[in-house]
Amino acid sequence: MVSAKFLYGVTLEAPWPEDALPRCRVPHKLPVVLSATEVSEFFQHVCTIRYRAALMTAYGAGLRVSEVVALQIGDIDSQRMLIRVRQGKGKKDRYAMLSPRLLEVLRCWFRSQHPAGQRPKTSPEDWLFPGWRKGRHMNTESLQTVCREAARAAGLSKRVTVHTLRHSFSTHLVENGTDIRIIQVLLGHSRIETTARYAQVSPQVVAVTVSPLDNLDRKARGKGKK
């Protein structure tokens, strides 16, 4: 658009009508979100503790699938109850929340891999969710496959991916009254507009919002008393 206007206006010195090149409207679709009941049912159908821990991390901390699989043992800060996300989208580091329940799930997963008395020496740089190949972390596609299979086994009609769990995390925080700016930081969004769309998704937020129609008589009575 800018190049075409420069060509006509500067190079050719020809008039440029404002509606010469109408912009194509891109369809805006709201993300798929699971209810709390659906999330609970979903986790009950995840096949192994390995994948359950990884998917619970996606939902419990609002992480992207690439961020989940790339977590290292040293990224789990149980003292401050934080998860360090290294080089997330946009090559930015950030901190995500570590809930007590998620910490317990991750500890159970760690103990299953390193039983007491047989625990080898681990390094903070070791992968939290190692892959089957030595020295590699869990594959994103395998986690996505398990996610789809669990949704199918749970009888969910929605199209569920790992990112759906991140959407659900954000929407449920909105429904619980969490400040949108806090959610923005947790998700690693650079623009508040990106985070604000979750307020549009939440039916609970819509349902409890008071219509100005309901306030008409109340405001009229208030003016009459003055």
CB-facing half-sphere around the CA of 135: CA atoms within 13 A: 0
Sign, CA dihedral 70-103-109-145, equals negative
Rounded Cα distance between 162 and 168, Å, is 10
What is the phi/psi pair of residue 183, to 5°? -60, -40
Angle at the Cα of 183 from the Cα atoms of 178 and 187, rounded to 5 degrees:
155
Catalytically annotated residues: 64, 89, 163, 166, 189, 198
Rounded Cα distance between 182 and 69, Å, is 24
Angle at the Cα of 39 from the Cα atoms of 37 and 41, rounded to 5 degrees:
70
